[in-house]
Amino acid sequence: MWDEREESGVAIATYTAPPMNYFTDAAVDQLDDMIHAWRASPVSAVVLTGGVAGRFITHFDVDEILENQQQPDPIFDAPRRSRRLQAMLRRLNALPQPVVAALNGDTMGFGYELALSADLRIAQWGDFRIGLPEVRLGLIPSSSGVSRLVKLVGVARALDLLLRGRVLTPEEALAYGLVTEIADDALKAAIALSKRLADLPSITISIAKRAVYQTADLPLDIALGLEAENSFRLKQAPEIMEPMRQYLALPPEQRRDFLDAERLATE
């Protein structure tokens, strides 16, 4: 169900389970194996996308959820499914490489929980829906969707979305902060972004990512200590000296464009 290819140092993983692109237990195992491989891989970034037209990952296969309800886990082992999925998504989020989700279609339920575990989310213009509608099936998200959504958009917006089972258009999702940006072709935009990230020192990207996640929910005095520690560790890497040398080699009037390269690359 997952197909992987590499392009210019970027791993591109495509999920294809026609006709609806529902996620399954078998797909969990395959994705988990890929995550373990990426951690030890020299790839500079990871892109996740859907391989069925109009669908990133629609949601988890409801047949499998219902079957699990009819054959519940033993009381001391439960909830195995949720813990397994949470652990996998934590490993994805903890990868040293940046992970970009190219939401090229409907992205609901577990599909959006997976996207929430990526670092950046690029939606695609179109008649698509994004969000966590589990309450409409008598469920709540349990693979980290509740916790990650609250961290992303705050309690008030999370309650509005979760309690009402709202799914949003790409434009609404951008306004609510559920996605980073919208593109005509989400996969193309995600690959282009990942290649630009790959041009930056990988150790810098990795430590910047770690610093954000480490300090997000901490009191300021503790967060400042971790920020300084991460910065100190980064400065021990010799490869970070080259970008500074490149900057200093430029005439002063050209240095702003050097720092503004991301915006200039997307104009």
The catalytically annotated residue of 7, 134, 227, 229 is 134
Q: What's the alpha-carbon Rg for the chain, to the nearest Å?
A: 20
Cα distances from 2 to residues 15, 32, 174, in angstroms, run: 5, 11, 27
Residue with tokens 């258009």: 169
Per the annotation, the verdict on 171 as an active-site residue is no
Whether residue 256 contacts residue 248, with contact meaning beta carbons closer than 8 Å, is answered with no
Amino acid at position 202, single letter: S
The catalytically annotated residue of 113, 172, 181, 229 is 113
> For residues 38 and 42, what is the distance between their CA atoms, to the nearest angstrom?
8
Per the annotation, the verdict on 113 as an active-site residue is yes
E strand spans, 150-216? 167-168, 181-183
Strands 10-15 and 2-7: antiparallel
Which are the catalytic amino acids? 113, 134
